[in-house]
Structure 1
Amino acid sequence: MQRDPFYYVKAISKWRFVFMLVAALACAWITVYILKLFIIQFVNRSTTLWGLYIEFIQLFGPAKYNQYIESFGMIFQFLCILGFFILYIYLFYERAKRSYHDKCFQNMLREISYIAKGNFTHKLNAPPIKELEELAMNVDNIVEKLKISIQEERLAEQAKNELITNVSHDLRTPLTSLIGYIGLIQQDQYRDEVELRYYIEVINEKVIRLHQLIQDLFEYTRVQYKGAHLHKIPVNISEIVGQLTAQYRYQMQEAKLECRQFISSGKLMVLADSNKLGRVFENLLWNAIKYGKDGKYIDIHACEDHKMIKVTITNYGSPISKIDLPYIFERFYRVEKSRSEETGGSGLGLAIAKGIIEQHEGFITADSNGEKTIFTVKLLKLEKEESSISSGLKS
C-alpha cells in the first residue's frame, strides 16, 4: 500500500492547523524577543563584551554602526524568527503525529475487542501507518484462519452426526430382523424344519450384511486417516481387469449384460497394492452390474494416457443426476435415498475407492448423461527402469 507522505497533515482539522501556524509564529517571535533581551543583558553585564561593543562603535562610527545594525539586525531577526517558527511547527507536527498514532491504536484496540466478541466478519480499518497496517493484516489473517477452523469444526460435527445417523440406520435394520427371527426360533414359532431353515438362512444373510458393513467402516476409517499400509509392487492393470471380469461373469449373465473389453495389448504397469487396487475395480464393476441392468453392455477400457494408466468402466443403465453426481464419492451418500438393502450397499464403496486411489497418488472421477455412466481411474504409469528396480528389490 502506497502511503501519502502528508496524511498526518490531512488528518489535522483546518482550525487546528491554523492554530498551530499562529501558535508557532507567536512562540517564534516571543523566543527571539526573549533571546534578544537575554543577549543584551548578557553583553551589558560582561565587561569584555561591553568593551568590544564600544570598540565597534568607535571603529565604524555611531551613525554607520546604527545603519549596519538596522540593516543586518532586521535580516538576522527575520531569519531567527523563521528558524524558530520551523522548529515549533516541527514540534507541533510531531505532537500531532504522536496523538494521531495513539488515536489510531486505540481505535484498532476497540475494533479488535469487537472482533473478539465473535464478530469475525468485521475487517480492521488499517490507518496508513506501516506498523499498524502490518498489525491489521496479521489480525485479519488470524481471524480468517479462525473462521476456516470454526467452519471445518462445524462440518466435522455435522459429518459425525450424519455418520452416527447413517450407521445407526444401517445397523438397526438387519439387527431388527435378527432379533425378530431369533425370537421366533426361541419361541418355536415355525411350522416345520423347512420354515426353520428359511429363518436361519435369513439370519445368516443379515449377519453377513452386518459383517460387511463393519468391514467397510473399518476400511473407510483406515483409508480416510491414512492408516492403511500399502504393499506396493509392480502390477499389470490388464491382469486385474481380466481376473475381475472372469470373476463376475456369472453375475453379468444373470443381469443379461455383455462385458466388452478394450484393453491395450502391451502391459499396463503401475506400482500399487494389488489387493487394494483390486477392491477399487471390483467395486466399480459391481456398481456397473447393479445399476446398468437397463443397458445391454458394460465396457471396460484400459490404455496409456501420457504418463498415466487410464481405466474406464462404462454402463448404459439409469444415469446419475447432475444433482447427485458431485457427491457420489462422499461417505454414506446414495443416489437412492431410501437406504434400502435391496437398492444399495453401505454407501461406503465409492468413498473407499476414492481413498485408495488417492493413496496411490491417482485420480478417480465419474461422469453421467442420458446414455451412459462412466467411472474413470488414472494411475501413474510405472516406467521400465522403475519396474526393473522394484523387481530387483522384491527378489
Structure 2
Amino acid sequence: MQSAAFTTSPTFLRPLRTSPPSNNPRLGFRFDPIRATGRNDLGAASSSNVVFPRRSWSLGNPDSKLQLRPWNPLPPLEKRAERFEVKATAETAGEEDKSSSFTKTLVLGSLFGLWYLFNIYFNIYNKQVLKVFPYPVTITAIQFAMGTALVTFMWTFNLYKRPKISGAQLAAIVPLAVVHTLGNLFTNMSLGKVAVSFTHTIKAMEPFFSVLLSAMFLGEFPSLWVVSSLLPIVGGVALASMTEASFNWAGFWTAMASNVTNQSRNVLSKKVMVKKEDSMDNITLFSIITIMSFILLAPVALFMEGVKFTPAALQSAGLNVKQVCTRSLLAALCFHAYQQVSYMILQRVSPVTHSVGNCVKRVVVIVSSVIFFQTPVSPVNSLGTGIALVGVFLYSRVKSIKPKPKPKEA
C-alpha cells in the first residue's frame, strides 16, 4: 500500500523578503505554482508531478507537518448547499402546485361524473317503481327517510360536523323545507304520469320561473339579454309538449308546479333574514332540510295514501316484493346522493359553472331515459327539447355577464 507524502521542490521556493530569517516559527513563502512530488513508503520519488492551481499559499512550520492553506478560500460548503436547497425547494413547490391542481381537477371531474350517474339511476329506478306502485307521496317520504338515515349516520360517526341549531335558525329553515318537500313531491307525481324525458323537458323552464319570482318578490328585473335567452326555453318546451306521445295535463302541471316550488326556495332563501353569525354551509342546510321534509311528509303520506309500502300490501297487489323494495331503496339512495354531491360541487365552483353543469345533466338524463325506456320521440319533439336546452345554456351564460357599474356623478 502506498501513501503519498508531498514535498515541495526547492527550485520553486522564493522567500517573501530578503532579510535574515528571524526566530519567528512561521515562515512565509509564495509559490507560483507549487510543484509537489509523491513518494512511496520506500522513499523513491514517483514519476507523476502534481501542479496546484495558481494561488497564494502559506507554508507552516517546517518542523511540523506540511500544511498548505490558501489565502482566499472558497465559499463554505454550507452556503453552496443553501443555494442548492433554495433552488430545489422552488422546483419542488412548483411540482406540488401542479400536482395539487391536477388532484383538484380530478376530484371535481369525479364529482360531476357521480352527479350525473346518480341522477340517471335515480330517474330510472324511480320511474320503474312509480309504474307499478303509483303512490308518489309514499315514495317521496321513503326517499326523505333514506336521506334522514344517511344524515344521522354521518353526524353520529363524525363523518360530517353536527351543527348546533338555534330556534331562530329552525324558524327560518321551515319555509325552505316546505317548498323543498313540495318540489320533490311534484316531480315524483309528474314522473308517475308522463315519460322521464318529458318531465325534465318541462323542468328546463326553471330559469323562467326564477326570473319571474325574483321580479315579483325581490324587485330584481332581468336585463334584455336574460329575457332573450328565456324565449327559446319557453318556445322549445311548448314545441316538445305539443308533440309528446305521453302528454297528459296532470303530468304537465305537476312538473310546472315543481318548477315554481323549487325556484320559490331560492327566493325564500334570499328573503329570509338570518344573522351572519348564524349562517351555515350548503351541505348542513340541505341535511337539516332533508330531516324536516321527512318529518313534514311522513304524516301526510299516512293520511293520504295509508300504509301501502309493506310486504303484505305489495304482495296482495301482485307485485314482486323484493324487486320493488330494492328499487325503491336504490332510488332513495341515489336521490339523496345526487343532491349531496350537487352541493359539494357548488362549494367548489361558481354558481354559473354549476348552472351549466346542471344543464348538461338534464341532457344526459333525457338521453339516457329515452334509450333505457325506449321512449318514442318524434323529430319535432327532439327539436323542441333541444331548443329548450340550448336556451337554458344561453341563460346560464348570460347570467354570468355582470353589468358595468354606472359612473358616479361629480
Q: What TM bracket, shorter-length normalisation?
A: 0.3 to 0.5
Structure showing greater Rg: 1
Q: Which has the higher contact order (CA 8 A, sep 6+)?
A: 2
TM-score normalised by length of structure 2: 0.32
TM-score normalised by length of structure 1: 0.33
